[in-house]
Structure 1
Amino acid sequence: MKIKSILGLSSISIVMLTSCGKKTDEKEMLPHAEAIEVQLSKPMTDSINQTGDLLVNGRMESYKSSNISSRVMGNVSRVLVREGQTVKQGQLLIQIQAADLMSQKSRLEESLTQAKSGYAHAEKNYNRFKALHEQMSATDFELDQAQLQLDAAISSVGQIKQSIVQIQILIGESNVKSPFDGTITAIYTETGSMANPGMPLLMIETSNTLILKVLIPESEIQNINKNQDVSIQLQQNGEMCTGKILHINPSANLSGSQYEMEIKPDAQKVNSFGWKAGMYASAIIKRQTKSLKKQMADHEIIIPKKALIEKGQLYGIYTISDDQKAILRWVRLGKDYGDQIEILSGLKKEESFITEADNRLYNGAPIQVK
């Protein structure tokens, strides 16, 4: 029995030694991973230039447009224009019934006649008491009372005259006229409808002057100037013309970190092409050469976007360890500068990072700097 046990243990030991020997041999036979050649860089400290063309899309709109409304309430008696019609400044567009206003004016005019009669009587009475007062035949109180009656009559006449002027203005507002030369693009009412103060009746737009409205991202706004020349291409058929930046909104509060910009195209080209409001077009804007260094604060760390590694919602970069291994480091991003981006945390200014590699990198990969 003892001999069998010893033989059994010997067999197990031989098997274990053989197995260990095989693993050692296999480990020694594994080839060493070849080093991946990479290029290193450090966060930007010198000035760089952002140049090239920026392409943004937008829509053609009328340079001037207005919703025309009424200041008076009443039934629409006549609509004198139709959609698409060209109109001149001051042209009558819509008439609103003003019978109530005319009636009010008549009553005020009657009141004015009575007030003027009262004023004449008060003036005559005052002059009589003034003469008597000078002859010591009227008291100071009687003269003061005559003066008060005269002042009240003068005030009454003035108030009624002012009311008549206001009524006349409202009667004039019942005739809705065009505020400028343009084209009727929409009519919101019809004969017999009720017009209320502030309610739009129609829309008018300038027909011969268009602008292209586009949105510029925050990262590009520093590279664009007012009055800068741009190229405009209509998306429908590729027609092109030149234009000039007319206005850049200084605030992006209402447009999600994008700045609204207006571009005025060449009017002669627009008219010859027959471009219309509502058409979509692209603006090709040449970036103005600017030093990004001027936009940066002293504490900012800027790297090229091409160095970033994106995994889901995480961003990282590859750095190099002391033993020449690639180390993936997660970073937090900041301001966007076009092809450059700010690093808020995860990298120091003096640290190097990998910008290019000849093969696919992975965490711990051996690397060799070119």
Structure 2
Amino acid sequence: MFRRMTIMLVLVGAAFAAIFGFETFKARMIQKSMAGLRNPPQTVSTITAATQPWQKRLEAVGSTRAERGADLSPQVSGIVKAIHFKSGDKVEKGALLVELEAADDIAHLDALKAMQALAQLNYDRDTRLLKTNAISQQTADTDLATLKSDQAQVAQQQALVGYKSITAPFSGRLGIRQVDLGQYIAPGTPIVTLQQLELIFVDFYLPQQALAQIKVGQAVTAKVDTYPDMKFDGKILAINPLVNAASRNVQVRATFNNPDEKLLPGMFATVDIEVGAPQHYVTLPGTAIYHNSFGDIAYVVKNSPEGKDGENPKGGQKQYVAQQVFVKTGDTRGDQVAVLVGIEPGDVVVSAGQNKLHNGSPVRIDNKISVPFSANPQVSEE
């Protein structure tokens, strides 16, 4: 009897143990599932940190201008008699471009030349007669003064006639014609622009602190948005000896060879001047750095401790967690930022999607969409 009761008690105990053990296991599984629901893995993009060479640069913006450039206009008024060029022509120095009606001025010049010739004859006669004392010295001096006056008037009128012909003061390319045949134009009326494009200047300003880092002859590069994939190489031509007292900036002029005439006067240009020796820094996209009130941070992806060597215990994909790291950043260039402290080469860093992360958050890596990571990003209209 006692033996039967003992066996029964053992069986009942085993049953209760099985029931309570199952409930405990069930509770643990539910708790683990709820924890998974509370902290689902966040999808992020990552990049492997690496060092890149960094060259310190001075950056400035400026405007292009031709070595020689002028808007041609007449010095005197008149009616356009002839036009000897087409818009966009390339002309040589001295080429005749426009003629103004000058018939009246030429007739007046002929009259003055006749008076000059008569004055020359009178003075020549006086010179011969003066040798025989046939005339007084005063008479000869008076006729000489008359001759010189007539010569001056002829020269003045010749200059006036010359003003009626507008010529190219230097070789270059003409712009668009601004006057028409038969049009009356006043002094200063624009006729056409003439630009010599073989050599182009870029004028820009730098703060006075940069004066110690630049010198005449130093290499510079320039870019214009017209040709986003091209760089133009030049050198510093001159540094203004006067610093602007209001802005504390100094004007600098660089010169660029322009054989293809791609650079035109008036363009907006960005100028880079390399200074100092190149350095090597760990480089990340700017999106990888998260700014908050405590400082700059980045998230480094580590293997999850729940799985051996990052393997899911159930044989699934690797599990990862994001570890928060404080960083110290340096200079930026385009989409890139130099990291001085906090990240080592080879670290896998979250580059996008970190706005929902905290220290220890589980993450899922998806690098199908890459983040901008160019030192010289280009503006696209797409």
Give TM-score scaled by structure 2 length.
0.52
Contact 1:230 1:284 in 2 (8 A): yes
Name the CA distance, whole Å, in 1 between partners of 2:90 and 2:238: 27
Establish whether residue 248 from structure 1 lines up as the match of residue 252 from structure 2.
no
Aligned twin of 2:69? 65
Q: 1:247 to 1:288 in 2, by over 3 A?
A: farther
The reply on whether 1:76 has 2:59 as its aligned counterpart is no
Match of 1:98 in 2: 102
1:283 partner amino acid: V
Q: Deviations over 1:55-99 (max 9, x none)?
A: 112233222101223233322212222332211111111111212
Partner residue of 1:165? 155
Does the C-alpha gap of structure 1 residues 125 and 231 become closer, same or farther in structure 2, counting only changes over 3 Å? closer
Contact 1:80 1:92 in 2 (8 A): yes
Q: Judging changes above 3 Å, is the alpha-carbon distance between structure 1 residues 157 and 285 closer, same or farther for their aligned structure 2 residues? A: same
Tell me which residue corresponds to 2:351: none
Task: Map residues 212-231 of structure 1 onto 2, 5 A cutoff.
Answer: 212-231=202-221
For structure 2, the 5+ residue unaligned runs are: 1-54, 278-330, 332-382
The answer to whether the 8 A contact 1:71-1:170 is kept is: no
Matched pairs, number: 223
The one-letter amino acid paired with 2:231 is M
- 1:43-192 superposed matches below 5 A: 52-120=56-124, 122-123=126-127, 125-129=129-133, 146-192=136-182
SS for the counterpart of 1:285 is strand
- RMSD of aligned residue pairs (Cα, Å): 2.9
**Structure 2 CA distance for aligned equivalents of residues 255 and 165 of structure 1:** 49
Q: Is residue 197–residue 258 contact of structure 2 (8 Å, CA) maintained in 1?
A: no
Shift of 1:168: 2.0
TM-superposed CA distance for 1:124, in Å, is: 5.5
- Render the CA deviation track for 1:211-261: whole Å, top value 9, x for unaligned: 222222233233221110112233341311321011222224498433222
Q: Secondary structure at the match of 2:88?
A: coil
Q: TM-score, with normalisation over the residues of structure 1?
A: 0.53
CA contact (8 A) 1:96 1:195 kept: no
- Residue type of the alignment partner of 2:271: A
4+ residue runs of structure 1 moved beyond 6 angstroms? none
Residues 258, 84 of structure 1: CA spacing in aligned structure 2 closer, same or farther, 3 A cutoff? farther
Per-residue Cα deviation, 1:137-195 (whole angstroms, up to 9, x for no partner): xxxxxx6xx21111111121122122212322332232211111111124443323334
Cα distance in 2 between the residues matched to 1:172 and 1:59: 36
Partner of 1:260: 251
Letter paired with 1:246: L
What is the identity, as a one-letter code, of the residue corresponding to 2:90?
T
Matched with 1:206 is 196
Superposed CA offset, 1:196-220 (max 9, x none): 4444432210133222222222332
Q: Structure 1 residues 111, 228: CA separation in 2 closer, same or farther (over 3 Å shift)?
A: same
Aligned equivalent of 1:285: 273
Does structure 1 conserve the Cα–Cα contact (< 8 Å) formed by 2:93 and 2:171? yes
Q: Percent identity?
A: 21
Residues 224, 288 of structure 1: 8 Å contact kept? no
Q: Structure 2 vs 1, CA of residues 233 and 110 (structure 1 numbering), >3 Å: closer, same or farther? A: closer
For the residue of structure 2 that corresponds to 1:246, the secondary structure is: strand
Matched residues in 2 for 1:186 and 1:70: separation? Answer: 16
Inter-CA distance 94–288: structure 2 relative to 1 (3 Å threshold): farther
